[in-house]
Structure 1
Amino acid sequence: MTQTSENVTWLTQEAYDQLKSELEYLSGPARTEIAKKIEAAREEGDLRENGGYHAAKEEQGKQELRIRQLTQLLEKAQVGEAAADNGTVGPGMVVTIAFDGDPDDTLTFLLGSREVANDDIEIYSPQSPLGKGINGHKVGDTTHYELPNGKKAKVKIIEAKPYKG
């Protein structure tokens, strides 16, 4: 679970450890593996027509980008506790809202970061218009957030529970 501000990313200890472990793997064993793939492909000859070489170089580029992303994220990380189960919306909470108070028009999502969530749940950033509009409100509250066209949308908070992963 994370909460991102301009300069700090809040992570639970579990999320921090998971991301640190991924960074250590990518920076060590994974770098060695990709270097071996590139060298093996290079030994096959003409690099202009060597699909294995180009695929390995592309994989290396993606891996290096992920290493930079993780390094920056972890440099700004502050480790804290998981979200409290008190019905207040905040980063790390799975929130269900009803649009215009209509109980049939609902959306459930994680208010947090893609870095620590699985693909089974939609994620909204605390910095998004919806995230800013509901953050700090309690279950039962009705609040507004600004749409891209400048209009306001009304939502009622139906449920807010800590994300369990």
Structure 2
Amino acid sequence: MIKRFPISQQGLDKLELELKNLRNVERIEIIKAIAEARAHGDLSENAEYHAAREKQSFIEAKISELEDKIGRAEVIDVSKIQGNEIKYGATVKLLDEETEDEVKYTIVSEYEADVSAGLISISSPLAKALLGKVMGESLEFRTPKGTKYYEVLSVSYV
């Protein structure tokens, strides 16, 4: 059975753009680099050739990985999600019960996550602790620095 994962249309578009670039630009450039390195003669001691082949292997592996991800992606239109329960696509405002600081996160796919921009992966420990919670609920979240206690102040889907 194929293990699907949620992703936004923008996230899928980004993966498809990266795949297109690898196939149509990077792959062609590395083929040229290999041909040029071959022209230099003895391949057994040709560092350029070996480096180019290694890069080609990396590119082909990345292409396979992206094709797999795209094939398993399930696009979720967050604007059609309703309710007050936290799930994929939710933007949540939390109150740190210890420091009284407020933080805001949006739960996204692992391929879209950027903690510095407030985008946390659905597979992250914090997102897992948030899933299923509703406004007003408290949660306990273990971090390497100790346990944090949050209250869910709001849940929205924008």
1:30 aligns with 2:15: no
Q: 1:113 aligns with which of 104, 109, 116?
A: 109
Query: Partners of 1:135 and 1:112 in 2: how far apart?
Result: 12
Determine the structure 2 residue equivalent to 1:3.
none
Which of these residues, 65, 70, 92, is aligned with residue 69 of structure 1?
65
Query: 1: CA distance between counterparts of 2:118 and 2:55?
Result: 27
Please tell me whether the aligned partners of residues 114 and 123 of structure 1 are also in contact (alpha carbons under 8 angstroms). no
TM-score, normalising length: structure 2? 0.71
Preserved contact between residue 101 and residue 156 of structure 1 (Cα < 8 Å): no
Equivalences, count: 155
Could you tell which deviates more after superposition, 45-54 or 28-37? 45-54
Q: Following the alignment from structure 1 to structure 2, what is the Cα–Cα distance between the partners of residues 144 and 75?
A: 35
Cα distance in 1 for residues equivalent to 2:103 and 2:42 = 54
TM-score by length of 1: 0.68
Answering whether residue 95 of structure 2 is matched by residue 89 of structure 1, we say: no
Residue identity opposite 2:86 in structure 1: V
Deviation at 1:115, TM superposition (A): 1.9
Q: Secondary structure at the match of 1:35?
A: helix
Instruction: Give me the whole-angstrom Cα distance separating, in 2, the residues matched to 1:153 and 1:73.
Output: 33
What is the CA–CA distance in structure 1 between the aligned matches of 2:106 and 2:61, rounded to whole Å?
Answer: 25
* Structure 2 counterpart of 1:155, one-letter code: Y
List runs of 5+ in structure 1 lacking aligned partners.
1-5
Closer/same/farther in 2, CA of residues 127 and 90 from structure 1, 3 Å limit: same
Q: 1:1-165 residue pairs with structure 2 within 5 A?
A: 7-47=3-43, 50-82=46-78, 84=81, 88-104=85-101, 106-117=102-113, 120-121=116-117, 123-145=119-141, 147=142, 153-160=148-155
What do you get for the CA RMSD once the two structures are aligned?
3.4
Secondary structure of 1:127's counterpart equals coil
Partner of 2:66, secondary structure, is helix
